[in-house]
Amino acid sequence: MKFIGRIADGSTETTARLILLKDFERSVSSEELVVIKNGGDERPINQILGVLREGLGKNEFLSHTAYRPDVAYMRHGGEPSGAREVYSFVIKPIGVITENGIELNKIIIQPRSPVYLQEEEDKPLEKIVKGNEVLWMDAHLENHKMWKVPVLKNFIPYHVGIYGSTGSGKSWFTRYVLVPLYINAGYKVLILDWSGTDYVPYLQDSNEVEIMKITEIALDEEAILSYFQDKTYDFSRNDNVKDGFDEFIEGWTEKVKAIANLPSISKDPAEVLYVQLKEYVEKSINNITRKDWQSSALRAARRVFRRLKPRDLAPVMGTISIEELLKKFENKKVLVVDMGGTIAEAKLGFFLSLAKQLYSIMESGNDVNIALVIDEAPQYAPWEPRGIQSETSEMIKNLAALGRKRMLNLTLIAQGIKGEIGINASVRRNLNSHFFGRIHPLDAGGEGGALEWLSPYGINADQMLQLKPGKFYFSGAMNPSPVPLLVTYEPPGEEI
Ligand SMILES: Nc1ncnc2c1ncn2[C@@H]1O[C@H](COP(=O)(O)OP(=O)(O)OP(=O)(O)O)[C@@H](O)[C@H]1O
Ligand SMILES: [Mg+2]
């Protein structure tokens, strides 16, 4: 601990300014942790741990709005005096250090109280975790490699959001920091790799990891119907055509398996299935007795099959059931679903099937012990859900609500927080821990923007817009510190 300054005039119980001793402005930076001996070194009332934010340099000789002798002198090439220079930081109190960890400070912070900079061996983060069940992330406080960041284990199933503009390091942070954290906490990790490029190439060599391709997985029948609905402009808005599809889809996976088992099949299985589907729908239309209904259904069916191609069936012709998928997971710690190579509707269809399975396990009263990582979350639960997205958004919300009691963690990753690049508000409300990386300017201000979360703690837009990749402000339920902290990590192999 190093004595670096004293509390200035105007402090309250929740905020105070630190005036730095001479020359400490050169070495003390924002985000450092300090201890205030409130009331003096001799008999402090309490000791408050806090974080430095909002640095300020003042020299009243150099006021830029008034003409003063020093300004005149400077304008003619002289060096102005630094005698009345004051450097200060806001201290945001994390809390009072007690035997049992950290507590809310309710005593006014006294002006003149001495302030001490926390140094490596002081291990300030250990002071805030006393009395709590914590795990340590393989990430550290900015500038302090030794200070690993603690996480409150019980709040892991209260869900996590990771936000940052493209290239801010969200997927890497998840892979290197959060996945190991979840495993440590006793969860298995199920990662949905939207494009198959963010996780699959990095994890495929590990024997703790199982990788599955989405096109091998059987979708549930409702999901298949939604898929066709999206592919065919809602069956050209004809209920008879829809019924034909619906009836054919009953027993879909068995039909797919039967085709795969046909002896000496020379044709593409998708083509065989396509012909069966088309014939079935046409036959069902031919059975319509009212002529006018029949002919409008025929027209609709022609439009539908002009639009739908045999290759559109391939993504929904997987045969591995979700149960079998989850079984493969039993002996592994991580399961990555490679969702590359198919269209968004099929991916969302798969997600619905998976989510329903997880939901039903939880609904029947079982814990799942799974952390479900949903990268590119706005694809599933966007600001304004369309089509199948309304179902996936609703599903995520339901999983979140039930998951809290059933050891399911949802980790949602998005480029933004609100609006068009963000996650649907009803889903976002269920995320209780957050990692904010470099943000898009559009995301800074306004209701629900990053700054609404962070500015009460002295973090401003300039800082958020300029964060380097891999640096995140960690806030919310999982963080034992009530004040967000800037955390980072070094990717393996990148240490200098
Ligand atoms: N901790 C780190 N230190 C240094 N560089 C990093 C760190 N984390 C990530 N990076 C760099 O940032 C790049 C982008 O990371 P990543 O793919 O995780 O971004 P992203 O936020 O997921 O982007 P997108 O929104 O486009 O998916 C990486 O290729 C890597 O070079
Ligand atoms: Mg990414």
Domain ranges of the chain: 2-127, 134-217+320-488, 221-316
Q: What is the dihedral of CA 58, 78, 64, 455, to 10 degrees?
A: -40
**CATH architecture of the domain with range 134-217+320-488:** 3-Layer(aba) Sandwich (3.40)
User: Residues 192-220: what's their mean pLDDT?
Assistant: 88
**Cα–Cα separations (whole angstroms), residue 376 to 214, 347, 381:** 16, 12, 9
pLDDT at residue 261, as a whole number: 82
At 208 the pLDDT is: 87
Q: Are strands 33-38 and 472-476 parallel, antiparallel or unpaired?
A: unpaired
379 lines ligand 1 (CB under 6 A): no
Map residue 433 onto helix, strand or coil: strand
Q: Is the CB of 171 under 6 A from ligand 1?
A: yes
pLDDT at 496: 46
Distance 321 CA to ligand 2 centre (A): 28
Q: Which residues surround ligand 2, an ion (CB under 5 A)?
A: 171, 198
170 CA from centroid of ligand 2 (Å): 6
Q: By alpha-carbon position, which residue is closest to atom 3 of ligand 1?
A: 470
Q: Exposure pattern of 466-488 as b/e (b: 16+ CB <10 Å)?
A: ebebbbbbbbbbbbbbebbbbbb
**pLDDT band at 330, cuts 50/70/90?**
confident
Rounded to an integer, the average pLDDT of 132-154 is: 93
* Rounded Cα gap, residues 92 and 4, in angstroms: 16
pTM for the structure as a whole: 0.87
Interstrand relation of 370-374 and 334-338 (parallel, antiparallel or unpaired): unpaired
The residue nearest atom 24 of ligand 1, judged by CA position, is 166
Taking alpha carbons only, the member of 252, 257, 261 closest to residue 228 is 252
Q: Is the pLDDT of residue 94 over 60?
A: yes
User: What pLDDT, on a 0 to 100 scale, did the predictor assign at position 264?
Assistant: 66
Task: Tell whether the model's pLDDT for residue 344 goes beyond 90.
Answer: no
**Residue range 99-127, pLDDT digits in tens:** 888 899 999 999 999 999 999 999 999 88
CA of 490 to the centre of ligand 1 (A): 11
Confidence of residue 181 (pLDDT cuts 50, 70, 90): very high
3-state secondary structure at position 483: coil
Q: Supply angle C-alpha 386, 375, 489, rounded to 5.
A: 150
pLDDT at 153 over 50: yes
Task: Give the lowest-confidence range in 36-45, 254-263, 309-318, 436-445.
Answer: 436-445
Are the CB atoms for 339 and 325 separated by under 8 Å? no
Query: Which residues 6+ apart lie within 8 Å of 279 measured at CB?
Result: none
Q: What is the pLDDT of residue 494?
A: 52
How is residue 132 written in tokens?
């709590």
Q: How far is residue 430's CA from residue 395's CA, in Å, rounded to a whole number?
A: 12
Q: Is 50 close to ligand 1, i.e. is its CB under 6 Å away?
A: no
- Percentage of the chain lying above the pLDDT 90 cut: 60
Q: 356 pLDDT exceeds 50?
A: yes
| Chain centre distance of CA 457 | 21
Longest dimension (CA), the chain: 100
Amino acid in the structure at residue 133: E
pLDDT at residue 364, as a whole number: 93
Q: Which atom of ligand 1 is the closest one to the Cα of 165? A: 25
- pLDDT for 495: 46
pLDDT at 224: 87
For 177-192, what is the mean pLDDT? 94
What spacing in Å lies between the alpha carbon of 171 and ligand 1's midpoint? Answer: 7
Query: What's the rounded mean pLDDT across residues 319-341?
Result: 89
Reply yes or no on whether the pLDDT at 191 is more than 60.
yes
The answer on pLDDT for 389 being more than 60 is: yes
The gap from C-alpha 300 to its chain's centroid, in whole angstroms, comes to 42
Query: How far apart are the C-alpha atoms of 419 and 128, rounded to whole Å?
Result: 35
CA of 190 to the centre of ligand 2 (A): 16
pLDDT for residue 46:
92
Supply the pLDDT for residue 488: 95
Mean pLDDT of the chain: 90
470 lines ligand 1 (CB under 6 A): yes
Q: Is the CB of 174 under 6 A from ligand 1?
A: no
Could you tell which of 142, 172, 467 is best to mutate to test the pocket of ligand 1, judged by most ligand atoms within 8 Å of the CB? 172
